[in-house]
Amino acid sequence: MSTEVKHEGSLGVAMKRKEDPRFIQGKGRYVDDISLPSMLYMALVRSPYPHAEITSIDISQALKVPGVKAVITGKDLDAAGLGWLPTFHGLDKQMVLALGKVLFQYQEVAAVFAETRGAAADGAEAVEVEYKPLPVVADPFAAKADKVILRPDRERKTNHIYHWEVGDKDGTARALAASPKRIKQRIWFQRCHPAPLEPCGCVAQFDTMGRLQFYVTSQAPHVYRTALAIVTGIPEDKIHVISPDIGGGFGNKVPVYPGYVCAIVGALKLARPVKWIETRTENLTSTGFARDYHMDVEIGATAEGRVTALHVATTADHGAFDAAADPTKYPAGMFGVVTGSYDFPVAHAEVDAYFTNKAPGGIAYRCSFRVTEASFAIERAMDILADELNMTAADLRRKNFIRKEQFPYPSPLGFTYDSGDYQKTLDTALEKIGYNDLLKEQAAKRARGELMGIGISTFTEVVGAGPSKHFDILGIKMFDSAEIRIHPTGAGIVRAGTKSQGQGHETTWAQIVAEELGLDPQNIMVEEGDTDTAPYGLGTYASRSTPVAGAAIAMAARRVREKARKVAAHLLEVAEADVEWKEYKFQVRGVPAKSVTMKEVAFAAYTNMAQNEPGLEASYYYDPPNMTFPNGTYVAVVDIDRETGESKVRKFLAVDDCGTIINPLIVEGQIHGGLTEGFAMAFMQEIQYDSEGNHLNTNFTDYLVPTSQETPHWETAQTVTPSPHHPIGAKGVGESPNVGSPAAFVNAVMDALSPLGVRHIDMPLTREKVWRAIRDAEAKKKQL
Amino acid sequence: MKVNVQVNGVPYERDVEPRTLLAYFLREACGLTGTHVGCDTSSCGCCVVVMDGSRAVKSCTLFAVQADGHALLTVEGLAEGGKLHPLQQGFWDQHGLQCGYCTPGMLLASYALLKHNPNPNETEIREALAGNLCRCTGYQNIVKAVQQAARSNANAGTSQ
């Protein structure tokens, strides 16, 4: 029957990406590429003050600007019941446009709608707002005092948002008190920003049927549809959300932003489509920031270096609204993974979050909800402990790793780690990078007074949110979904509830379907991001696409296969029980010569299906039984210029264990990208506010993105420990390099500076900070 | 005011506001949306196009009127006769892109580089692309893509 060559399988193949031809020819379709007839442009008026009462807003001059069609303010929205927007984890709300006062610099105050981009900007300039400045609370420690209550709209009249804790508080305190060795360190993970190159934006249109057509840069289009229905009162069937091509997201495009609501209101009010594309400044100053965790980390250990207890107390700065996009039950996200790769007998973690006069957020920037913070804290603290014990960073880790026979491992903070072989991953990394030679080189350099450092990070992540028992966003459980149709010729389409922002789903999802069904991945089309066609899913962030939607795709494909088996039995003229799926074909059990391909079965499913139901399609909603736990060992080698404080990353090796690999090319690309973002946080990025609440990094000249010149050369390698509970054993990888690498960089710099007695410097490790640390250390030495 | 330009060999005459930036002229007046805008400060390079054959310019930092009478090359004009340009092929083969947003600017900046220096080494490539930001790839595969294109150009030259 078949003239096809033997199918070799599609999993683990470094297939070139199917989406690339359109991107390399300028044929991508990003939201700003969408232009609709008679479309208006929207610009936002933003507050110059971090905290102020609004005494008046005069829109009369703005309305006289040629081309301006309308201006709306918070009062207009409030009158329509749209003054506030619930934040994604449902524990707070956020003003759409300022109501009575502003709470952070660059807060949205009014929206201007005009015929052109320029006219909208002119109109925004012409809106006159009078402010009466109020006292500013610019840091969470000041917020604790409650001298100024920032959110009197809330029931509890305090700046304290929540206290969250997990673990054995008393047991941890006792174990720490009894430990012969203890270290304690305040570690700040600075405020940073995902800054995808494409800013956020949308086009809103009410079509001739009165239905909202909403094109938006969303990592979670289905959740947007539901959230918009809840916020606006528009019935959900009358909302169509389309996430077109997205120019990077990294968590920044998960929340629903005030600008989106304003654009929809404008489109409704003016009965014309409205486009809003934020500027880079708007992106950096008002949309979801990440981190800003002040973590007091304490580890107890025996004199031999066996860890006995971990305590972490965190003060979190959430800005003016609690807009962290965390699952409902997890206000501090997955911070409980802070015990990392180590077998702590007891641990306790707590987070206290506060309002300040800064932009809202605390989103999961390339991170599964606060995992980056947790990972950085434990990996830094382990190095400080190693120093204290006079052990190498590698030896201390080896001594305390969760051993591979301990999996599934119940962590003291409530997770069940699925699988891993940390020892093997570390050994692979140290051997590959030549750790012993590096140590010798370092000793020689130290003798000459040169500053060379080797930094290790042996991190464990928790991703793939998540089991419905624990995880929801706005009440919606965090499953994901897939729908597969195989056409008569053996081509097909798969739709999923996720949304790629560069991760390459059009390729990897096709590979999973092709692997499960023995079809050609080139002819499996992937479609995501359209709520009218794709099945409901929670979207792409927190490394959940492969662990959750990837599993749904494999399971849906297996349902297709079961359906196909009946048709195959008919074609092979045997009972269904005698048909087996082997080597990507249906065979008569024990008679390999008698076989049919999926392609042949697909054709028969439409042309010769006998008594079977026609067609060949299936869907699957996958509720993961557990999270997945990708892990890795990263090693950074740095040289520091004593005179300038400049750190040069001479070598970097990432050994990742993300379980089964779907496409090694894409995995490697994800790792390169994530490492570069980790490098940026370690050495150059910080969203800074001055003590008056002024935002100091409002564009790419002040908020630095590494260029091709600074970015180090990345080396990568893999160990593969499949997830035992995932249908294809995959764990997800997109975030590992961003989660695991900051500690490797910082540990390397601190290792270089350790002969000077420098113990810790908070990121970013700019030349100035490192230079000052060297100078201060040298001055101190002279005094002694 | 009237602006006359040649874009990818095609003449465009458009009447635009004097303040119209070249990037928006290309995107909105000419409908060539492959040229992107990613910042307000000439930092990101998503908008790079090539002017007069070999000069990479940031089209967000020029007014459309400044391009009057000039010839421009945008990403839409790289492929010829349905055949990808060696740079496009290189980016595809070497996985030199992920979200694709910086890619047109990267391609055009690389195009200008290869016009001036047909066989650049890694340092030269990294230096030439320092005005183009990428948040996804970490640049390593972009360097490989440009090297592949340079090799491919050299081979094509030899075979002729």
Closest CA to A477 of A548, A381, A526: A548
Pairing status of strand A480-486 against strand A492-496 = antiparallel
Sort A190 into a burial class: Cβ within 10 Å, 0-12 / 13-18 / 19+. middle
Question: Which three-class secondary structure state does DSSP give residue A237?
Answer: helix
The residue count for chain B: 160
B111 to chain A, closest Cα gap in Å: 13
Q: Is residue A33 within 8 angstroms of chain B, CB to CB?
A: yes
Q: Quick: pLDDT tens for A24-62.
A: 999 999 999 999 999 999 999 999 999 999 999 999 999
In chain B, whose CA is at the least distance from the CA of A665? B95
Chain B positions touching A201 (Cβ under 8 A) are none
Is the pLDDT reported for residue A2 higher than 50?
no
Is the pLDDT reported for residue B121 higher than 80?
yes
Fold of the B86-155 domain: DNA polymerase; domain 1 (1.10.150)
Give long-range contacts, CB 8 A cutoff, 24+ apart: A696-702: A697/A193, A697/A284, A698/A106, A698/A281, A698/A284, A698/A285, A699/A280, A699/A281, A699/A284, A699/B39, A699/B40, A699/B41, A699/B43, A700/A195, A700/A280, A700/B39, A700/B41, A700/B43, A700/B44, A700/B133, A701/B41, A701/B43
Q: Quick: pLDDT tens for A366-396.
A: 999 999 999 999 999 999 999 999 999 999 9
* pLDDT tier for residue A610 given thresholds of 50, 70 and 90: very high
Q: Is A367 among the catalytic positions?
A: yes
**Joined tokens for residue A600:** 């042949």
**Joined tokens for residue B16:** 């635009």
In chain A, whose CA is at the least distance from the CA of B77? A25
Q: CA-to-CA distance for A760 and A446, rounded, in angstroms?
A: 19
Q: Do residues A287 and A278 lie in contact, with contact meaning Cβ atoms separated by under 8 Å?
A: yes
The residue count for chain A: 784
Sign of CA dihedral A428, A429, A432, A434: negative
* pLDDT tier for residue B126 given thresholds of 50, 70 and 90: very high
**Joined tokens for residue A100:** 């009575």
DSSP 8-state class, residue A159: S
Average per-residue pLDDT for chain A: 97
Q: Tell the residue number behind the tokens 């939201």, with chain if given.
A: A31
Q: Is residue B79 within 8 angstroms of chain A, CB to CB?
A: yes
Which residue out of A20, A27, A30, A197 would a mutagenesis test of the B interface target, given it has the greatest number of B Cβ atoms within 10 Å? A197
Is the pLDDT reported for residue A5 higher than 50?
no
Closest CA to A280 of B25, B35, B76, B60: B60
Q: Is residue B70 within 8 angstroms of chain A, CB to CB?
A: no
Q: Is residue B130 within 8 angstroms of chain A, CB to CB?
A: yes
Q: Do residues A318 and A324 lie in contact, with contact meaning Cβ atoms separated by under 8 Å?
A: yes
Q: Do residues A422 and A404 lie in contact, with contact meaning Cβ atoms separated by under 8 Å?
A: yes
Q: Is A130 among the catalytic positions?
A: no
| pLDDT reported for residue A784 | 74
The C-alpha angle A767, A319, A290, rounded to 5 degrees, equals 50
Q: Quick: pLDDT tens for A644-669.
A: 999 999 999 999 999 999 999 999 99
Q: CA-to-CA distance for A756 and B4, rounded, in angstroms?
A: 64
* pLDDT tier for residue A423 given thresholds of 50, 70 and 90: very high
Q: In this structure, how many other beta carbons lie within 10 angstroms of the beta carbon of residue A18?
A: 20
- CB neighbour list of residue A5: distance below 8 Å, 6 or more residues apart: none
Selected catalytic residue, list A46, A225, A291, A366:
A366
Question: Which three-class secondary structure state does DSSP give residue A684?
Answer: coil
Give the H/E segment covering residue A112. strand A108-114
Average of per-residue pLDDT across A400-418: 98
Q: Do residues A537 and A619 lie in contact, with contact meaning Cβ atoms separated by under 8 Å?
A: no
Q: Is residue B78 within 8 angstroms of chain A, CB to CB?
A: yes
Distance spanning both ends of chain B, measured CA to CA: 45
| pLDDT reported for residue B98 | 98
Domains of chain A in sequence order: 20-27+480-622 (3.30.365.10), 34-136+198-247+253-286 (3.90.1170.50), 371-463+626-684+694-783 (3.30.365.10)
Q: Do residues A470 and A655 lie in contact, with contact meaning Cβ atoms separated by under 8 Å?
A: no
Q: φ and ψ at A45, to 5 degrees? A: -90, 130
Q: Where are the domains of chain B?
A: 2-77, 86-155
Is the pLDDT reported for residue B88 higher than 50?
yes
Is the pLDDT reported for residue A6 higher than 60?
no
The one-letter amino acid at A540: T
Closest CA to A572 of A560, A585, A582, A586: A586
Question: Which three-class secondary structure state does DSSP give residue A452?
Answer: strand
Average of per-residue pLDDT across A128-144: 98
Selected catalytic residue, list A367, A501, A668, A718:
A367
DSSP A306-365: -EEEEEEEEEEE--SS------TT-TTTTGGGGGTTB--S-EEEEEEEE--SS--EEE-T
ipTM score for this prediction: 0.98
DSSP 8-state class, residue A764: P
Average of per-residue pLDDT across A736-761: 97
Chain B positions touching A713 (Cβ under 8 A) are 140
Per-residue exposure over A564-595, b if at least 16 CB sit within 10 Å of its own CB, e if not: bbbbbbbbbebeeeebebeebbbbbeeeeebb
Fold of the B2-77 domain: Ubiquitin-like (UB roll) (3.10.20)
Sign of CA dihedral A686, A692, A693, A697: negative
Q: Quick: pLDDT tens for A543-577.
A: 999 999 999 999 999 999 999 999 999 999 999 99
* pLDDT tier for residue A591 given thresholds of 50, 70 and 90: very high
Q: CA-to-CA distance for B5 and B77, rounded, in angstroms?
A: 14
Q: In this structure, how many other beta carbons lie within 10 angstroms of the beta carbon of residue B80?
A: 9
**Joined tokens for residue A467:** 């089991």
Q: Is residue A37 within 8 angstroms of chain B, CB to CB?
A: no
Q: Quick: pLDDT tens for A434-457.
A: 999 999 999 999 999 999 999 999
Residue A542 C-alpha from the chain's centroid: 4
Is the pLDDT reported for residue A7 higher than 70?
no
User: Which of B76, B101, B126 is opposite residue A197, by nearest beta carbon?
Assistant: B101
| pLDDT reported for residue A340 | 98
Q: CA-to-CA distance for A120 and B133, rounded, in angstroms?
A: 28
In chain B, whose CA is at the least distance from the CA of A704? B43
Q: Which A residues in the span 496-555 are in contact with B, Cβ-Cβ below 8 Å? A: 501-504
| pLDDT reported for residue B157 | 79
Selected catalytic residue, list A213, A219, A503, A718:
A219
Q: Is residue B95 within 8 angstroms of chain A, CB to CB?
A: yes
Average per-residue pLDDT for chain B: 96
Which residue out of B140, B143, B146, B148 would a mutagenesis test of the A interface target, given it has the greatest number of A Cβ atoms within 10 Å? B140
Which residue out of B99, B102, B123, B129 would a mutagenesis test of the A interface target, given it has the greatest number of A Cβ atoms within 10 Å? B99
The Cα-based distances of A598 to A112, A268, A595, A602, A720 in angstroms read 56, 49, 10, 6, 30
Torsion angle, CA of A608/A612/A614/A620, rounded to 10 degrees? -140
| pLDDT reported for residue A378 | 98
- CB neighbour list of residue A487: distance below 8 Å, 6 or more residues apart: A493, A602
Q: Is A670 among the catalytic positions?
A: no
Q: Is A366 among the catalytic positions?
A: yes
* pLDDT tier for residue A584 given thresholds of 50, 70 and 90: very high
The Cα-based distances of A563 to A105, A440, A583, A610, A617 in angstroms read 58, 62, 18, 13, 8
* pLDDT tier for residue A90 given thresholds of 50, 70 and 90: confident
